[in-house]
Chain A
Amino acid sequence: MRRGLLIGIICCLAVGLIFSGCGKKEEPKIKIGFNIPLTGDIPKVGEGSKFAAEMFKADINSAGGLKVGDKSYQLEFIYEDNESKAQSATAAALKLITQDDVLAIIGPQSSKQAVPSGEICNANKTPMISPWSTNPNTTKDRPYVFRGCFLDPFQGPVAANFATEEFGAKKAAVLFDVASDYPKGLAEFFKGAFEKIHGSGSVAAFETFTTKDRDFSAQLTNIIKSDADILFTPQYYDEVPLIVKQARELGWTKPILGSDSWGSAELMNLCGDDCKGSFFSTHYAAAGAKGATKEFIDRYKEKYGYVPDDVGALTWDSIRLLVQAIQNTGGLTGDLQKDRDAIKDQLAQIKDFAGITGNMTFTPDGDPVKCAVIVKISQAGDFEFYKSVCPQ
């Protein structure tokens, strides 16, 4: 009985395999892998990435497929869940490369997973684009790895310049979590940039706390005493409300500046009125967007019911970059390794690509030269475009 069942299952699988094999031969396909966090700590990030990708795929495939050279291809996207873990992300990358035979991989999103996965993709000579990872190590010395966003060594100076130009700040204060890589790195880049403009000692207070601390009163009292003109705090959306509220209660009336980690819709739910009027640097601004960006936001919102976070927009741009590179090869050979190499070469040559998160030109490291956006939190609680800061 049990044996009969087993044989039955095997037969079914075999028949299924034969048919799916037949299906493949009928129309040529381009397979692209996605290494994204569909579960784990930040499922919203994975969801946003997948939604943007699905929207893109539907556009291309319903219009008859992607034209490369003189042939049309249907797009096939394979989504692998990396559970927001480094080990799962490397396993997912390896599976996409060796089992699914994808041409290229989009993701992972966070630096924690993108740095190790970049190593796997580079070693296996498969092009990878991380839409969201801002850590320099992701692409460093890895010719096959690219990214769709700016880097922290750029974001730090952006904030420093903005504080100087917009508020005429001569002295700055920084409050950050010394036990977390992203805020610590960014705080140091900000300090370096600000002191380059105003001389050493111009960062009058460089105060720290450790993850899970909830009381910042002593540090904020020091910051207020330092007589700084601006407070820069590159923290996540669950700490920002506490920092801002406590600063206001201690009598801080000057501007507060943040970084791209502020950019979650959750921020305003937790912070309420206190965060209104603050600024932060990020990848794009949903409110007040124009042209192609607005079109993307409107379509996404209509389809899925909410305004896309920066991750969705960056994923959209990364897929378009990849598709552009595939088209630029002038025709696929069908030899997987040759095609992967050709795509890598084309990606590295992309110049002045008009993305919805800004224009991009790749450096030899695989990092785009692109502008950052300064967002102002409006009185209605929206993240409004304030100005665009581009690398000189």
Chain B
Amino acid sequence: MGEFFQNLVNALQYGSFLALIALGYSMVYSILMLFNFAHGDIFMVGAYIGFGIATLLVTLASFGALALPGWLILVLTIIISMFLTSFVGMLVERIGYRPLREAPRASAAITGLMIGIILETGNLALLGAKRVSFPALIESATYDIGGVFVTNKKIMIVFVSIILTLALHQFVTKTKWGMAMRAMAFDYLVVPLMGVSINTIARLTFAIGSALAAAAGILYGVAYPVLEPYMGIIVGWKAFVAAILGGRGSILGAALAGFLLGFIEIFVAMIFPSTFRDLIAYSIVLLILVFRPHGFFGEPYSAKLRL
């Protein structure tokens, strides 16, 4: 039984990353009908920007120039790199996607793949193949709750990702900008006639998605402190699966699917030999999609509208 709860904690942490990255995929996909395959690499860029800021702040603190406690450095790192990475996202949209808005969807999809490769190899050229270690900003504390080991990092990661998900949900459902985004997802040909600029909404969508990816990247660096230029590929694919599984146009759906995917992967590894983990886990996902082709919360009409 202790093992079950331990894996529950493991799955919550692992699912947090998938959920946060899935949000970005889901938003872009809902609003622009685009598969932004560069999103996993924006996650990587966010982690590296976070690494740079954290290292800078830690160095300043060690010289006594700016004596900040570790947790404050972490908070600042998350906020600053979310801000900076949102510009990376906007740049990607401006250079990669806007010129291709009227082009066939396949062209836009491979644009994403190419931007992804450019970001990976650009990082490789800039920093080399050397792995970098994300600085340990907060003292790791492990709590033993009846045989279930929980660390303060894990609690923080799950907490932050849930808060960010709920904040995004509030933004999309309660604000005027959010309403414009939802309207755009409904019909992007008519909404510009109402005076809403598609360029502004597209830019906003990419900015928010990239900022969330940056937050995920830093939390990922806290949990798995070895960064490398190709770290975003696999996790990006898995988050993409979660975004589709959640259903088009559903923020909470994407986040829930991210957590669900985490649970499936972890519990498959608990029950079956770990060699078959992804094989079995993604067969289950495939099975779910057979019965719910539009995902959990997706609206069936939306797909017919656009494709």
Identify the closest chain A residue to B278 (Cβ).
A210
Cα distance A383–B7 in the bound complex, in angstroms:
34
**B265 on the interface (CB 8 Å rule)?**
yes
Cβ-defined contact, A212 with B270, below 8 A: no
* B3 interfacial contact with A, CB 8 Å: yes
User: How distant is the Cα of A178 from the Cα of B275 in the complex, in angstroms?
Assistant: 7
Q: List B contacts of A118 (CB < 8 A).
A: none
Contacting residues of chain B (1-23) with chain A, CB-CB under 8 angstroms = 3, 6-7, 10, 13-14
Asked if residues A249 and B149 are in contact (CB atoms below 8 Å), the reply is: yes
Chain A residue with the shortest CB-CB distance to B269 = A218
| B13–A241 touching, CB < 8 Å | no
- A222 x B133 contact (CB < 8 A): no
Whether the pair B131, A221 counts as a contact (CB closer than 8 A) is no
Give the distance in Å from the alpha carbon of A187 to the alpha carbon of B129 in the complex. 27
What separation, in Å, do the CA atoms of A210 and B228 have in the docked complex?
Answer: 16
Q: Does A270 contact B (CB under 8 A)?
A: yes
**With contact pairs A178-B275, A249-B140, A249-B151 given, residues A270 and B270 touching in the complex (Cβ less than 8 Å):** no
B269 and A222 contacting across the interface, CB-CB below 8 Å:
yes
A215 within 8 A of B: yes
Compute the total of residue contacts between A and B using a CB distance below 8 Å. Answer: 82
Contact, CB under 8 Å: A270 / B226: yes
| Chain B residues whose C-beta falls within 8 Å of the C-beta of A241 in the assembled complex | 133, 225-226
Decide: B7 and A221 in contact? CB cutoff 8 A.
Answer: yes
Given A214-B231, A218-B266, residue A251 in contact with residue B142 (CB < 8 A): yes
Counting chain A CB atoms within 10 Å of each CB, the highest count among B151, B224, B273 belongs to B224
Q: Is the CB of B226 within 8 A of A242?
A: yes
Q: How large is the interface on B (under 10, 10 to 19, 20 to 34, 35 or more residues)?
A: 35 or more
The yes or no answer to A238 lying at the interface (CB within 8 A) is yes
- Check B234 against A212 for contact (C-beta < 8 Å): yes
B131 touches A238 (CB 8 A): yes
Q: Which of A220-234 contact B (CB under 8 A)?
A: 221-222, 225
A270-B133 contact in complex given A238-B228, A249-B142, C-beta closer than 8 Å: yes
The answer to whether B275 touches A221 (Cβ under 8 A) is: no
Q: What residues of B have a CB within 8 angstroms of the CB of A219 in the complex?
A: 269, 274
B144, B226, B274, B275: most-surrounded residue (chain A CB, <10 A): B274
A270 with B6: in contact, given A249-B140, A249-B151 (CB under 8 Å)?
A: no
Residue in B149, B266, B269, B278 whose beta carbon sits within 8 Å of that of A250 in the complex: B149
When chains A and B are docked, how far (Å) is the Cα of A217 from the Cα of B11? 8
Q: How many residues of A contact B (CB 8 A)?
A: 30
Q: Do B224 and A207 touch (CB < 8 A)?
A: no
Supposing A217-B13, A221-B3 touch, asked if A266 and B131 sit within 8 A by C-beta, the answer is yes
Residues of B within 8 A of A251 (CB): 142, 144, 149
The reply on A269 being an interface residue by CB < 8 A is yes
A208 at interface (Cβ–Cβ under 8 A)?
yes
- Nearest Cβ on chain B to A309's Cβ, whole angstroms: 15
Which residues 115-151 in A have Cβ within 8 Å of B in the complex?
none
Q: A218-B10, A225-B3 are in contact. Are A209 and B233 (CB under 8 A)?
A: no
Q: Which residues of B contact A207 (CB under 8 A)?
A: 274
Rounded to whole Å, the gap between the CB of A54 and the closest CB of chain B is: 24
Query: In the complex, which residue of chain B has the Cβ closest to the Cβ of A270?
Result: B133
Contact present for A218 and B224 (CB under 8 Å): no
Q: CB-nearest residue of chain B relative to A223?
A: B274
Contact of A208 with B274 in the complex, beta carbons under 8 Å = yes
The residues of A that contact B153 with a CB separation of less than 8 Å are: 249
In angstroms, how far is the closest chain B Cβ from the Cβ of A231?
A: 14
Q: How far is the CA of A278 from the CA of B277 in the complex (A)?
A: 28
Rounded to whole Å, the gap between the CB of A15 and the closest CB of chain B is: 41
Known: A221-B270, A222-B270. A208 touches B234 (CB 8 A): no
Question: Does residue B191 face the partner (Cβ distance < 8 Å to A)?
Answer: no
A248-B266 Cα distance, complex, nearest whole Å? 18
A272 within 8 A of B: yes
Contact of A214 among B136, B224, B267 (CB under 8 A): B224
The answer, yes or no, to whether B230 is at the interface (CB within 8 Å) is yes
B265 CB contact (under 8 Å) in A218, A249, A269: A218
A31 close to chain B: CB less than 8 A: no
Interface CB pairs A-B, < 8 A, 22: A214-B224, A214-B226, A214-B235, A215-B223, A215-B224, A217-B13, A217-B266, A218-B274, A219-B269, A221-B3, A221-B10, A222-B269, A239-B226, A241-B133, A246-B224, A248-B142, A249-B140, A249-B154, A250-B6, A250-B149, A266-B130, A269-B133
Interface residues of B (CB under 8 A from A): 3, 6-7, 10, 13-14, 129-131, 133, 136, 140, 142, 144, 149, 151, 153-154, 220, 223-226, 228, 230-231, 233-235, 265-267, 269-270, 273-275, 277-278
- Supplied contacts A241-B133, A249-B142, 4 more A-B pairs, CB within 8 Å: A41-B129, A218-B274, A222-B269, A251-B149
